[in-house]
A = this chain, B = another copy of it.
Amino acid sequence: MSRSARDRRRDNRADSEPTRRKAPAFLRRSIPAYELLDEESLLRLEDHAEWLLSEIGIEIRDDAEALRLFEQAGARVDGELLRFERGQVRELCRTAPATFTMHARNPANNIEFGGSNLIFGSAYGSPFVTDLKGGRRYGRLEDFQNFIKLTYMSPWLHHQSGTICEPVDVAVNKRHLDMVYAHLRYSDKPFMGSVTAPERAEDSLAMAGIVFGEEFMQQNLVIQGNINVNSPLVYDNTMTAALRTYAAANQGNVISPFIMGGAMSPVTQPAIIAQAHAEVMVGIALTQLVRPGAPVVYGSFLTTMDLRSGAPTFGTPESTLATLAISQLSRRMGLPFRCGGHLTASKVADAQAMMESTNAMNPAIMAGANFIFQAAGWLESGLTIGYEKFVMDAEQCGAIARVVDGLQVDEDQLAVDAYREVGVGTNFLGVGHTMRHYRHANFQAELSDATPFEQWTEAGSKDMQQRAYELWNRKLEEYQAPALDPALDQALLDFIAGRKASMTDAWY
């Protein structure tokens, strides 16, 4: 193992011990990526994506500028339907950078996309929130702020995601202002802005500009838009307009086809994978047509549905295979890759929730994903974010940090001295080697209970959900906001007040 791999290994460590080491701003993988498919299968998937783009085509709705850009680049345009020569879209993606830095308000929290880097981010997009005592209800701005605070406090979450939950108590046309403010005020890690309308993307950019400086933003990535595809094979103008807004400002986009096989694609996984590959390439190409070199992430969000009821399902074996396979396609593009997350259809943070979430997350880790948001809080197929689930998931991200750190097989780790000290048949609890290593040898999970049954019973027979309830409440009590220059804070508040005064409330 190289020197730099060892340094990375050291960087990745953190735990809740008294001698706590600073958690890293992001992770670096020291383990190989799993290769599910052979070359022949990969070529066939790539070929099928090219067939889809050349024969079936892809539609961009109500966005004349996007159509113009593609036509100018050589696409065949038929109304709003675009068709491409084989290899043409992939060629347009070539200017996208393989790796790039995203700047945080606190430079210590800057993150690196691509390569062997791994970034965890919070959930995104739930209209509902739930907790053990309060039950399920619509999300409010206070919930949104709470999840930003919990993200800020977690050493295992590196990115604040964007719309962690919908603050339904704020008007639809104004809530992006309060969300971006919360991102900037209550935490200091990287985050995403609004994509629900071009002017909201512009507001997000303007607020980032107040804090980071507009000149800095011309050359540096500080904010991203999360772009979904209207699968099968359609981009709508809301998404393409937001995409163009961020790309034009040299800011970031994460392009993620969300495909439930059998509905937004055929039901068979190879078709789903190839379709997603085709769709995401078109989004990436559009960012590069708007601004060559604009930072963009190759995303995918592939899952299954219960084919009897039509309900989406997560952490399923078919989605595991799809995640493993599409990661190989993204690696062949040489772009930062997003997939996975702690995903589940369960309504509560029960056995199903963590079984499905673990199953949804593990293939992304094995596949070598670079960016995994939706990594903390997801419940009910994304309709709900749960407080208990959030802290469970975040801790799992900590365990994963240890996995991607890998093993270092050297004399110290092989413990030659320990065997010389005790020989056979004696335990190693007290030997010097154990004493030297016990603080940092193992990841210490705070929420997992390993106490004897009697002790657990005396402590109230609390299951993980109950312990998680106590943990997130304690965390919120302990929260202290990161410093923000009062002048910048005031400038943000003034900007928000001005924008809000210019609009009447819209509630849909």
Q: For A45, list chain B residues within 8 Å (CB).
A: 409
Stretch at the interface among A110-118, A169-177, A461-469: A461-469
State the interface size on chain A (CB cutoff 8 A).
Answer: 125
Residues of chain A from 429 to 473 with CB closer than 8 A to chain B in the complex: 429, 431, 433-434, 437-439, 441-445, 447-453, 456, 461, 463-465, 468
Pair B442/A270 contact, Cβ less than 8 Å = no
Stretch at the interface among A63-71, A187-195, A355-363, A476-484: A355-363
User: What's the Cα separation between A442 and B81 when bound, in Å?
Assistant: 32
Pair B443/A317 contact, Cβ less than 8 Å = yes
Q: For A52, list chain B residues within 8 Å (CB).
A: 419
Pair B232/A438 contact, Cβ less than 8 Å = no
User: What's the Cα separation between A407 and B309 when bound, in Å?
Assistant: 24
Does A350 interact with chain B (Cβ within 8 Å)? yes
Pair A426/B352 contact, Cβ less than 8 Å = no
Pair B392/A351 contact, Cβ less than 8 Å = yes
Pair A358/B347 contact, Cβ less than 8 Å = no
Does A223 interact with chain B (Cβ within 8 Å)? no
Q: A267-B433, A407-B269, A453-B380 are in contact. Are A355 and B352 (CB under 8 A)?
A: no
User: What's the Cα separation between A38 and B442 when bound, in Å?
Assistant: 23
Q: For A431, list chain B residues within 8 Å (CB).
A: 266
Pair B409/A44 contact, Cβ less than 8 Å = yes
Pair A37/B407 contact, Cβ less than 8 Å = yes
Pair A306/B450 contact, Cβ less than 8 Å = yes
Pair B441/A318 contact, Cβ less than 8 Å = yes
Pair A345/B448 contact, Cβ less than 8 Å = yes
Stretch at the interface among A28-36, A285-293, A499-507: A28-36
Pair B433/A317 contact, Cβ less than 8 Å = no
Q: Encode A282-313 as 1/0 by CB contact (under 8 A) with B.
A: 00000000000000000000001111111111
Q: For A449, list chain B residues within 8 Å (CB).
A: 345-347, 352
Pair A448/B352 contact, Cβ less than 8 Å = yes
Q: A45-B409, A349-B351 are in contact. Are A403 and B320 (CB under 8 A)?
A: yes
Q: A233-B425, A403-B317 are in contact. Are A34 and B37 (CB under 8 A)?
A: no
Q: For A267, list chain B residues within 8 Å (CB).
A: 428, 433-434, 437-438, 441-442
Closest to A388 in B: B351
Does A58 interact with chain B (Cβ within 8 Å)? yes
Stretch at the interface among A141-149, A178-186, A256-264, A487-495: A256-264
User: What's the Cα separation between A154 and B230 when bound, in Å?
Assistant: 40
User: What's the Cα separation between A266 and B40 when bound, in Å?
Assistant: 44
- Cβ of A416 to closest chain B Cβ, rounded Å: 8
Sample of 8 more A-B contacts, CB < 8 Å, known A232-B426, A307-B438, A317-B402? A1-B41, A44-B409, A48-B416, A59-B425, A262-B438, A267-B433, A313-B445, A354-B355
Q: List 10 A-B contacts (CB under 8 A).
A: A31-B36, A56-B419, A57-B423, A59-B425, A234-B425, A268-B441, A270-B407, A321-B406, A350-B351, A359-B362
Nearest 8 pairs between A and B by C-beta? A266-B415, A317-B402, A354-B355, A233-B424, A271-B415, A350-B463, A358-B358, A311-B450
Q: Which residues of A does B touch, CB under 8 Å?
A: 1, 31-32, 34-37, 40-41, 44-45, 48, 51-52, 56-59, 81, 136, 230, 232-234, 261-271, 274, 304-313, 316-318, 320-321, 325, 345-359, 362, 366, 380-381, 383-384, 392, 396, 399-403, 406-410, 412-416, 418-420, 422-429, 431, 433-434, 437-439, 441-445, 447-453, 456, 461, 463-465, 468
